[in-house]
Structure 1
């Protein structure tokens, strides 16, 4: 019983962080208050570095695969760190990446305990 509750909380953290990253990406591309025009290469690079890892994390959470969660963190971390060091709302990308790592660590702890 306790394991299913803990696993549900981890899944909730994972899904929320994935959705938050996608939502922030939409703001970054379409409503960016810091840039008037976003060029095509920025859209593609940011999608590959922010949206695809969010999707990978959601897949890893739904399939209970910690390796996919770790890969999502490793993949998103460099770009998220860059975004974290910028001013404004896009600092939250760093937090979403750290939430990916939190999901991985908590999932591994539960797997070891049970």
Structure 2
């Protein structure tokens, strides 16, 4: 598989996570008001790993991608088990793992 395609998968999954987070915080159809602690926790558990993944993709560092997956997986799994559009957080987290695996397949080391 081409490195450009793998990087595209990583960047798209990272941007998709940030986009979903904005919907979750500002346009959430399931909650009227989002409190401050939910904003901070969801940012730490979803947006920061997405940024780490983007950095890992741009620097060709598979270890950063693995860390982004491990970091985001518990919260993404919880979101995956909820109804609605926020199930996509689970998909984006699995895309982080896919990027890591594909980087390792084409022999890009840590």
TM-score normalised by L of structure 1: 0.93
CA shift, 1:56, in A, is 0.1
Would the alpha carbon gap of residues 113 and 47 (structure 1) be closer, same or farther in structure 2, given more than 3 Å must change?
Answer: closer
**Between Structure 1 and Structure 2, which shows a larger proportion of helix residues?**
1
What secondary structure is seen at the aligned counterpart in 2 of 1:87? coil
Cα distance in 1, alignment partners of residues 41 and 54 from structure 2: 20
State the Cα distance separating 1:52 from its structure 2 match: 0.1
**Cα deviation 1:32-53 (Å, max 9, x = unaligned):** 0000000000000000000000
Report the CA distance between 1:23 and its aligned residue. Answer: 0.1
Distance 2:70 2:49 in 1: 9
Report 1:61-100 matches (<5 A): 61-100=57-96
Pair 1:106–1:81, CA change in 2 (3 A): same
Name the Cα RMSD after superposition.
1.9
CA separation in 2, counterparts of 1:69 and 1:113?
A: 11
2:31 alignment partner, SS class: coil
CA-CA distance at 1:98 after TM superposition: 0.1
In the TM superposition, residue 112 of structure 1 has moved relative to its aligned partner by 6.5
The number of residue pairs the alignment matches comes to 110
8 Å Cα contact 2:62-2:108 kept in structure 1:
no
Where does residue 22 of structure 2 map in the other structure? 26
- Asked whether the 8 Å contact 2:61–2:109 carries over to 1, the reply is no
With structure 2 as the length reference, what TM-score do the two structures score? 0.97
- Give the superposition deviation at 1:113: 11
